[in-house]
Amino acid sequence: QKEVEQNSGPLSVPEGAIASLNCTYSDRVSQSFFWYRQYSGKSPELIMSIYSNGDKEDGRFTAQLNKASQYVSLLIRDSQPSDSATYLCAVNKGFQKLVFGTGTRLLVSP
Amino acid sequence: GAVVSQHPSWVICKSGTSVKIECRSLDFQATTMFWYRQFPKQSLMLMATSNEGSKATYEQGVEKDKFLINHASLTLSTLTVTSAHPEDSSFYICSAPPSTSGRNEQFFGPGTRLTVL
């Protein structure tokens, strides 16, 4: 079992729709969770961090964490073509080390 | 967010040569920096943890004699790929969590694309 799992996609949504990205992790003791956006050929950019169960909202982005189910998700409201990218879920495995999922490719069509 | 720079942004070298990549935290101090490698269409793989004032710690399967890491100051870590070969061609990215932040957020440099001919 991979430490962090994501559906590779692509996830295709029309402009203006809600994109829902999901991630599961295997290590129950993980405490910190992150979503990064990576455009092709570029390095990852931090979008959201979440540390406690529930929802955390920042603009059009909402991160959701359910530690009991070992599940993290990212919702993008009013999706824009510029949101088209690969979204990486990352979990802190201790000593500040991050383990990344393989990423979900999001395509937002105009 | 905090700013991390890398230099060079891309490099092409001949097989057998060594390449040095610099990672700098521009507006914060980082006692720890991380080096990742990303092959096309794959996710980031942690190579090593760079520790200021002490030896780097390497992930399993990463050759420490091939990938030399030096954390010279609280704002600079370097990765040297020694005797590079075509299979070392990859996207190398560093990251740093601000030392004063207790939230474990990491900020990535723009990456260095290495092509070994």
Say yes or no: A102 contacts chain B, CB-CB below 8 A: yes
Residue of A nearest to B37 (CA): A43
The tokens describing A24, both together, are: 């599961």
Cβ contact B49–A97 (<8 Å): yes
Contacts B49 to A, Cβ<8 Å: 95-97
Cβ contact B34–A96 (<8 Å): yes
Q: How many residues does chain A have?
A: 110
Residue of A nearest to B103 (CA): A32
The pLDDT value given to residue A33: 95
What string of DSSP letters covers A46-94? EEEEE-SSEEEEETTEEEEEETTTTEEEEEESS--GGG-EEEEEEEE-S
Residue A47 pLDDT level (bands cut at 50, 70, 90): very high
pLDDT tens-digit readout, A6-41: 998 899 999 999 999 999 999 888 889 999 999 999
Residue B1 pLDDT level (bands cut at 50, 70, 90): low
Average model confidence (pLDDT) across chain B: 91
Say yes or no: A1 contacts chain B, CB-CB below 8 A: no
Say yes or no: A2 contacts chain B, CB-CB below 8 A: no
Q: How far, CA to CA in Å, does B23 sit from each of A50, A77, B10, B68, B78?
A: 26, 35, 13, 13, 6
Nearest one of B94, B90, B88 to B111, comparing CA atoms: B94
pLDDT at A94 over 90: no
Residue B107 C-alpha, separation from nearest chain A C-alpha, in angstroms: 7
Is the peptide bond between B98 and the residue preceding it cis, with omega within 30 degrees of 0? no
Burial class for B95, CB neighbours closer than 10 Å (0-12, 13-18, 19+): buried
C-alpha B66/C-alpha B87 separation (Å) is 13
The pLDDT value given to residue A2: 81
The pLDDT value given to residue A30: 86
pLDDT tens-digit readout, B68-112: 999 989 999 999 999 999 999 999 999 988 765 556 788 899 999
Chain A to chain B Cβ contacts (< 8 Å): 51
The pLDDT value given to residue A1: 73
The pLDDT value given to residue B99: 62
Contacts B95 to A, Cβ<8 Å: 98
∠ CA B62-B64-B69, nearest 5°, is 110
C-alpha B65/C-alpha B80 separation (Å) is 10
Task: Provide mean pLDDT across the span B54-59.
Answer: 93
Between positions 46 and 75 of A, the ones with CB within 8 A of B are 46, 49, 51
The pLDDT value given to residue A29: 85
Residue A76 C-alpha, separation from nearest chain B C-alpha, in angstroms: 20
∠ CA A31-A34-A36, nearest 5°, is 165
The pLDDT value given to residue B114: 97
- Using a pLDDT cut of 90, give the percent of chain A over it: 85
Amino acid making up residue A46: L
Q: How many residues does chain B have?
A: 117
pLDDT at B2 over 90: no
